[in-house]
Amino acid sequence: MATAPPAAPPAAPPAAPPAAPAASKTRKQLDRPQTEEELAFYARNHLFMTVCAVILFPPLGLAALYFSRQTDEANKCSDWDDAYLNSTRTIWMDVFAILVGLILIYTYVLLI
């Protein structure tokens, strides 16, 4: 009588997937002053428009303020991609906050 071949050893459990990167990107502060060429690349933070957005519609205005601060931090670290990305986010949040705030004021005045 033929015997069955020995069973294969149990397979090892699959390895755990690698940990996801941290949600917030840590920026390394420069150990030197920025050059004139680097200063020319600064992305705008739209601070005046952000203050107007905070006054007219705080929920979106505060989000715009956060992205404005992120723009400043990225500029100081010469992280131009993040600086321009956050600058774009800031201006769009500002525009939407100001529009929503003005629409709310307009409808409030019409209903009174």
pLDDT at 18: 60
CA angle 45, 49, 53 (to 5 degrees): 120
Residue reference for tokens 């529009």: 99
Query: Is residue 104 domain-resident?
Result: yes
Query: Is residue 106 domain-resident?
Result: yes
Give the count of domains, the chain.
1
Over the chain (112 residues), the average pLDDT of each successive run of 10 is 66 60 64 78 91 97 96 89 95 97 96 89
- Pairwise CA distance, residues 90 & 47, whole Å: 9
pLDDT at 39: 79
Going 96 to 97 to 98 to 101, the CA torsion angle's sign is: positive
Structure tokens given for 96 = 């939407």
Name the nearest CA neighbour of 46 among 89, 12, 5: 89
Domain range for 95 is: 36-111
Query: Is residue 69 domain-resident?
Result: yes
Query: Is residue 72 domain-resident?
Result: yes
pLDDT at 83: 93
Query: Is residue 4 domain-resident?
Result: no
CA angle 95, 98, 102 (to 5 degrees): 140
